[in-house]
Amino acid sequence: MASAGLASRLYAGDANINIVGRRKMWFTIAAALVLISIGSFLIRGFELGIEFAGGTSFSVPAAAGTKTLTQDEVSSAVEKAVKQAAPEAAITTTQKVGDGKDASFTVRASALSTDEAKEAKAAIVNDLGVDASKISDDQVSAAWGGQVTRQAVIGLIVFLVLVVAYLIIRFEVRMAVAALASLLFDLVMTAGVYSLVGFEVTPSTVIGFLTILGYSLYDVVVVFDKVQENTRGITAGSTRTYAEATNLAVNQTLMRSLNTGLVALLPVGGLLFIGAGLLGAGTLKDLGLVLFVGMGFGVLSSILFAAPVLSALKDQEPKIKAHNARVLARRSKGSDDVVRDRTRPANATASDVPAMAGGTTPRPGARPAARRNANRPGGPKR
């Protein structure tokens, strides 16, 4: 077994990495990261896009003397002019309004002061050779109203309440709390990265952010499903503490978590590559970036955060506490057990834990619900 490399041990689900046992370390790291993020929210805030903060809109006639301008020409000319007037300003959208002779282009840019706008206008006239009197600039409000944000936040809260209720029914209270903690951790971390790095927040970012909600929980559910399976009837035996059983589950699902994470991140990476690499900016980049960051944290936190939180919570439960004490007491008597347990957890899976053993497993095709009930008389809950 020692000869097998990490990759193949990972593949077989017996990498035996002690993750849950080092939970103090993960909690410290998580707490530090959360504090940094919240500090950054308060001090640095967020870089809001034009859709949220409003901006300046330029209207440029499509006809310059005898020639007709194209959307690209106008777009790049305005961008150059705006950048010249205010270095950190940018443009978002360019649209052609109307047809024929009276057509004009509307270009939306970051908010500019009156002087900056005047300077930019002069530069546009210079560059495109259009009639100066026909260029106009106007302040535009946010397209993404406060109400959209408010309703989205209300939706988020309703969702969290419902999902906790669902997780309590599907799993149990402590698992629901741990899953919620991990979800909130992901959201805070993603927002923290945005705040710290100063990435611009656009509507696409917000939408991507909401996608993380479902995804992050998806990962956690996969891990907790295995934990639930491994710890079913754990108090009946005395070979493994709850934390150890959880760690085993994490190891068994490690490959699955990495796989699902990788598979989900691949297309997002494609988006990011095209969006940021080839196009420079825009919807694809915004969405790709927030998903990449959020899903990345989702994979990490389901392994390194959700499971440790769960074991910490479960260890507070009287029944589990007593069980853990019994396991440790037995172990100090016969140290042989410990050695075996520590070195060969994968085999232990197959022979020690009742839930996994062949003797109690139902025939193929048995309904999971029935199995769960049949197997749980001495279970840790209910």
Measure the CA–CA gap between 382 and 377, rounded to whole angstroms. 9
Identify the sign of the CA torsion 24, 26, 29, 33.
Answer: negative
How far from the centroid of its chain's Cα atoms is residue 352's Cα?
36
CB 67 to another protein: min, Å: 18
Measure the CA–CA gap between 247 and 143, rounded to whole angstroms. 48
Which CB sits closer to another protein, 122 or 207? 207
Which CB sits closer to another protein, 36 or 210? 210
Nearest to 305 by CA among 32, 13, 10: 32
CB 240 to another protein: min, Å: 18
Bridge partners, 59 (sequence order): 106, 136
Measure the CA–CA gap between 348 and 332, rounded to whole angstroms. 19
Neighbour tally for 366: CB within 10 Å: 11
Nearest to 103 by CA among 59, 151, 142, 140: 59
Which CB sits closer to another protein, 333 or 363? 363
Which CB sits closer to another protein, 40 or 213? 213
Which CB sits closer to another protein, 20 or 220? 220
Which CB sits closer to another protein, 251 or 324? 251
CB 98 to another protein: min, Å: 4
CB 135 to another protein: min, Å: 15
CB 158 to another protein: min, Å: 5
CB 56 to another protein: min, Å: 10
Q: Tokens 């491994």 map to which residue?
A: 230
DSSP secondary structure letters along 150-180: HHHHHHHHHHHHHHHHHHHHHS-HHHHHHHH
